Amino acid sequence: MSATEMNGKELSKKIRTELAGEVLQLKQNGVTPHLTVIIVGDDPASQSYVRGKEKASAEVGMSSDIIALPSSTSEQDLLGQIDRLNKHDSVHGILVQLPLPDHINEQHVIESISPEKDVDGFHPVNIGKMMTGNSTFLPCTPYGIITMLKAHDVRMEGKHVVVAGRSNIVGKPVGQLLLNENATVTYCHSKTENLTDYTKEADILILAMGRANVIRGEHVKNGAVIVDVGINRLEDGTLTGDADFASTAAKASKITPVPRGVGPMTITMLLKNTIKAARGLSAVGK
Ligand code: NDP
């Protein structure tokens, strides 16, 4: 079998065109969706992600701003900034770029963002709603994965999904969303014994470990659907996923490339969440 590529860049383009239409409509009703991104410190990767979010917001007609704070910023100062933004009516989405410097407690920061403006979907209130299958802001990468699977008509109900990775931002929530879609979910992590015994059994394999090319063709089932979330930079500068693309694509029925796979979908879902937040405000006439 040779896999069909699930191209996140192309799907994102299509979704972003639809989102631009929604933004236009909101603007006609006097609401311009606005995202504020806070970045603390000067990590180059974080700076590049933040610029990507700003560019994508502009592309769909949303407004955004970046609050860049020095790495010496205290937790109290950061919480003060978030409190101000929580109260600001024209700010619909607040995103604090992670990771934060060691002296700042990430969980305190996540919990300080108003759940109505938590467009990353990391606040415990929103995670709880997701767990119970209620409407909420879904975390962007898992939301992007589910959207992609649906767009490619991948049947999830009754299927065995294996998720390799259990982080709070990718592995755990994507498994939960697939459970909500009536899949049977197995989680694997760094303490899992014989990982490939599980990957070989997956109808849908989600790879979110950050381990370059570790899953090869012999580790996947014939016809499996593979979603490779991993982004790993090799010594020569190229980006690769957790799957060895050539050998796994030869056996899979569908697979996401790296890059141009899950990555663009993550930002697209952030835009979607921010528009949803803006709709919430317009609904109460603010
Ligand atoms: P984390 O480092 O937070 O989590 C990695 C997870 O993988 C952990 O649960 C860890 O287990 C598990 N793991 C690590 N090594 C192994 C192994 N050898 N066997 C089995 N499990 C293993 O990473 P993130 O979840 O934040 O990100 C995962 C990958 O996805 C990264 O490459 C990241 O760059 C990428 N990413 C891509 C995004 C996108 O938009 N495409 C968005 C976010 C992340 P344990 O819990 O036991 O430590």
- Count of Cβ atoms closer than 10 Å to residue 176 Cβ: 19
- Looking at the structure, tell me whether residues 144 and 219 fall in a common domain: yes
Tally the residues of the chain. Answer: 286
On whether residue 134 sits in a domain, the answer given is no
Instruction: Check if 230 has its Cβ closer than 6 Å to any atom of ligand 1.
Output: yes
Distance 208 CA to ligand 1 centre (A): 5
Ligand 1 centroid, distance to 169 Cα (angstroms) = 9
Give distance in angstroms: CA of 77 to centre of ligand 1.
30
What is the chain's pLDDT, residue by residue, as a tens digit (286 residues)?
A: 689 999 999 999 999 999 999 999 999 999 999 999 999 999 999 999 999 999 999 999 999 999 999 999 999 999 999 999 999 999 999 999 999 999 999 999 999 999 999 999 999 999 999 999 998 999 999 999 999 999 999 999 999 999 999 999 999 999 999 999 999 999 999 999 999 999 999 999 999 999 999 999 999 999 999 999 999 999 999 999 999 999 999 999 999 999 999 999 999 999 999 999 999 854 443 3
In a domain, 182, yes or no: yes
Question: What was the pLDDT predicted at 1?
Answer: 66
Atom of ligand 1 nearest to the CA of 189: 21
145 in the same domain as 110:
no
Are 49 and 156 found together in one domain?
no
The verdict on the CB of residue 226 being under 6 Å from ligand 1 is no
At residue 147, φ and ψ (nearest 5 deg) are: -60, -40
What does the DSSP 8-state code read for residue 119? T
Q: Which domain holds residue 155?
A: 140-263
Cα separation, 54 vs 264, whole angstroms: 13
pLDDT of residue 286: 34
Domain assignment of residue 274, yes or no: no
CA 16/CA 267 separation, integer angstroms: 10
- Tell whether 145 and 238 lie within a shared domain: yes
Is residue 120 part of the annotated active site? The answer reads yes
Contact 213, 242 (CB under 8 A): yes
Q: Are residues 149 and 235 in the same domain?
A: yes
Q: Identify the residue whose C-alpha is closest to ligand 1 atom 17.
A: 190
Pair 9, 66: CB distance under 8 Å: no
**Which run of H or of E encompasses 28?**
helix 8-28
Do residues 73 and 34 both lie within one domain?
A: yes
- 87 in any annotated domain: yes
Residue 47 domain flag: yes
The b-or-e profile of 243-266 (16+ CB within 10 A means b, else e) is: bbbebbbebbbbbbbbebbbbbbb
Residues 152 and 89 in one domain: no
Whether 49 maps to a domain, the answer reads yes
- Please tell me whether residues 80 and 148 are part of one structural domain: no
Is 139 near ligand 1, meaning CB less than 6 Å away?
no
- Do 176 and 245 share a domain, yes or no? yes
Ligand 1 pocket test: pick from 122, 168, 170, 260 the residue with the most ligand atoms within 8 Å of its Cβ: 170
Q: Is 168 in the pocket of ligand 1 (CB under 6 A)?
A: no
Tell whether 192 and 102 lie within a shared domain.
no
CB 268 within 8 A of CB 9: no
* Chain centroid, CA 193 distance in Å: 27
Which is catalytic among the residues 117, 118, 120, 159? 120
Residues 55 and 158 in one domain: no
Number of structural domains the chain divides into: 2
Which residue in 265, 153, 257 sits closest to 207, CA to CA? 257
The reported pLDDT for the residue numbered 281 is 54
Q: Is residue 176 part of a domain?
A: yes
Domain harbouring 237, CATH code: 3.40.50.720
* Residue 53 designated active-site: yes
Q: Is residue 178 part of a domain?
A: yes
- Are residue 110 and residue 206 in the same domain, yes or no? no
